Chain A
């Protein structure tokens, strides 16, 4: 009941926002030209959906962001976790990682064109680059913050450094890793989007750029709405991964024989 009311409330807020937009747009044709209006954007969305023109664009942007996100998360996390083995290395690398992480992605984008061309790989590289430093920093901190008592219990049982890493550090820092991944979902999309803005012939970024070059505001906004949808989908996806992290730990970090005690009879 409460949930239904909440949905209704949100729907009303949306409706109010849209109608105010519409009213403002009706004030003068110049405003209407600059900000478009819900009634001019809606047909654009329908048009993009109807003949399927949107599909390759969504796949281009979403695919580049997804590949970049996975690549950046995996690379950054593996390297970040490995810094646990050497405190010195972690301290040594920290300022460099921070510096590289602070570099605006737009600044390296032209370089990516030189390295990877103007195709799909360039967008993946940009998405990867936007995520890798956050993944590295977070997993490095996560590995460091695993409670000393867990490590002590394992060391007390004569485990080697490698065993401590596998049994305590990796599962113990996954909260941080998945937290970083959720944060990165947005960054990856932004990276891919910027790549398309710079050089592309397909993708949502391309669609927005082309439409605004033609002063077709409704179409640009329609494309932007698809980006919002894509961002929400990414957030949901990484939220699902985060939610099921216990299952992921069970699957990868614990021997199959110990999974369920009751069923081993």
Chain B
């Protein structure tokens, strides 16, 4: 009954989406306020029905209703409650439900919080949002219905794919989708602007918080996925340049570019046409990502099932939305009034620099990800494009971007003083030089360029601190006055500096772990030891340990420093899930500062030895710590009053300070 209720609610949501997609547009064309004002309530109602459908599916999972095919295939009554709940989106149908749930959630949020938007823009944007929703509702109902029943319900379900039985499943997909789908808002606003043929700097002010929110979630979603892959897959890599990872990185790169170009548009009225294009591209890349992951053209942990009709359906959605949006752009963009030009050395110029390199880097990822698919479709030749390709293209494009990053915030709008900025960054450059020299002196081995990577990350971090230092004039004026300036500084300035600092932290982690990480693979018997870096691990033996729906074969290792100090116990395991008779590797991690010891087990050999992989990952946690800092920077910036539409200015004094920025 509950499943049927969900199914019915989803159909009603489709109906509402069709109304929301048509009436407001007609209203905007004929300037009919009644029709236009239909957009907001239908958006809220549509969300309510999708939420009902999603809730119904969740109830089926929590109560282990195996008469529902989707639940039978992906759940098991012995799973803990958390996994019964998260397995709602641990499969194709459910994850598409999560997608539309978040999509309509955003639509409803725009409807509720967009009270100050011009009525026509809001009506058009919500209508576009409803087209996307309608396409995906139709997709779910036609090809991926999660509410199908089985006659003669089985007693037990087939269990969730063991790789997904992890707390990561609770965070990674929802955050990633919040990011992906969040870009649909800027897309809808861009299309609405094109439909109206009018755009102004205020557009950027309305769109920027949504872009920022989506970017924050995507940042955290990608980082979370990376950490999950790192500890779950058992070989300790944090990024594989796997097409599915690239699918999430591309919208992130485009979204980062959009975030920066929208600033130029808001502050200076320039780059309008470009910003619109980026808004279209960012969401198009999210759609392409969904297509790559969901259609089965790629095989990966994320491709839950391969069904050609689904692939063709999503491809259709892709062609209609991306093709339609770009055609509309080609047709209408020339109508938009161009913004002014600016001196190359200026804040605007620096942001254009950022945009050029980000989009170029995004393009290389795009080509590297899609070229194998295109080649196979055209010639049948199968190739793989792996890390060497991306290291040779993405890397060189990111270096100038990162080098230039500390300069950007120090340049003035309109006309910047590059020499002045360079002088102010002198301290950062000196610090970086010291770091390069120190890493050459301290580390033996590793790639020759690695110390420069360390230097670059120090330069970025110090540059972010100098940015704040310059704004607060700390060290130059009395501390009290500097503090007052720090409090008065717009939160978006703090947010920028923080996010840039986070990039430096992540870079440091990536460089250190790639250059100086060590690996030891061995087959050990109880009593034997394995050495790595400054640590010695003694294998004590294997223990069997039952779990709720699995059994663990645990290897017990005592960790000591090479000089004998006892540090603790590490217990990696081989986890066999009974329902699917499938094993996963549960790596053991031991944190040492921001570094980690990483230990995973292989299948025991017939001669009684156990293969182990032991890694020492120096500074590895900084990779994800940096992403957290970026997220926090974004959140700080989002809390800036200026970003909230129509938020009342607090006082005259504050306005004056903002102008001085």
Say whether A associates with B: no
